[in-house]
């Protein structure tokens, strides 16, 4: 992997089509998931404590992701047999079934193409999260260091918020749906003309014409 470039896709980029080996067999990503949202997440290594806690948390919320038309896909640079044995260990010792596929990327091709290799830590992958929409477009990118486990509820919240934005064309406030100022209300896009600005507060609630919100 020394001669490969650790590239970094951007929000709004098309996810490159990849054929990958997973614990559920060979898959084409994102092609096999067209019409569904994807939450692609990498972990540093199998049989490690923090990664194990994350996999359990993802598994316990799998039905919530599916209810949002989203599929979970894990990834690390481990071999597929390591993934399979780790998944078996989690089932046997923690009584948790891992229902989603895990990509085996021993050559680091996927990890490199997605900017998942942790700088300064050899070939291990970061704790990256890519939320990809039904058309294969990357919509959210989250990165965590190896030492910090992810908040799976925040990933779920981010997906819900993004889907509200896509459906209604609105913005979402901090901590939505529990924002300190407007609760679960959403923010109407800013005015595009002086006339529109003058009418904003006549027809909507808000603090000023540039900060107008509504229920959905």
Give 162-178 pLDDT, tens digit per residue: 999 999 999 999 999 99
Give 32-77 pLDDT, tens digit per residue: 999 999 999 999 999 999 999 999 999 999 999 999 999 999 999 9
Q: Pick 5 or 184 by higher pLDDT.
A: 184
Given the structure tokens 């994807």, which residue do they identify? 38
Asked whether the CA dihedral 113, 117, 119, 123 is positive or negative, the reply is negative
The residue from 39, 51, 75, 104 that is catalytic is: 51
What the chain holds in terms of domains, given with CATH numbers, is 18-150 (3.40.30.10), 169-216 (3.30.1020.10)
166 is catalytic: no
Strand pairing report for 70-76 and 186-187 = unpaired
Tell me the C-alpha distance between 202 and 204, whole Å. 6
Instruction: Please give the distance of CA 34 from its chain centroid, rounded to a whole number.
Output: 16
Q: What are phi and psi of 30, to 5 degrees?
A: -90, 0
Q: What percentage of the chain carries pLDDT values higher than 90?
A: 82
Q: What is the pTM of this model?
A: 0.93
Tell me the C-alpha distance between 71 and 39, whole Å. 6
Tell me the C-alpha distance between 169 and 188, whole Å. 8
Q: Which two tokens stand for residue 136?
A: 């294969």
């Amino acid at each position: 992997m020394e001669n490969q470039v650790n590239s970094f896709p951007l929000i709004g980029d098309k996810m490159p089509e990849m054929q990958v080996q997973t614990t559920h067999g060979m898959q084409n990503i994102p092609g096999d998931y067209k019409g569904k949202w994807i939450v692609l997440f990498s972990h540093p290594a199998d049989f490690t404590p923090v990664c194990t806690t994350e996999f359990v948390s993802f598994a316990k919320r799998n039905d919530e992701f599916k209810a949002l038309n989203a599929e979970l896909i894990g990834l690390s640079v481990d071999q597929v047999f390591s993934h399979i044995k780790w998944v078996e260990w989690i089932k046997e010792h923690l009584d948790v079934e891992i229902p989603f596929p895990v990509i085996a990327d021993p050559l680091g091709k996927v990890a490199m193409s997605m900017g998942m290799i942790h700088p300064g830590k050899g070939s291990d992958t970061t704790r990256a999260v890519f939320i990809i929409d039904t058309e294969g477009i990357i919509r959210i990118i989250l990165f965590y260091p190896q030492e910090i486990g992810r908040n799976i509820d925040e990933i779920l919240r981010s997906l819900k918020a993004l889907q509200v934005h896509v459906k209604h064309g609105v913005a979402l406030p901090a901590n939505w749906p529990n924002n300190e100022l407007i609760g679960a209300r959403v923010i109407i896009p800013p005015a595009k003309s002086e006339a529109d600005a003058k009418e904003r507060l006549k027809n909507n609630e808000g603090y000023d014409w540039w900060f107008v919100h509504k229920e959905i």
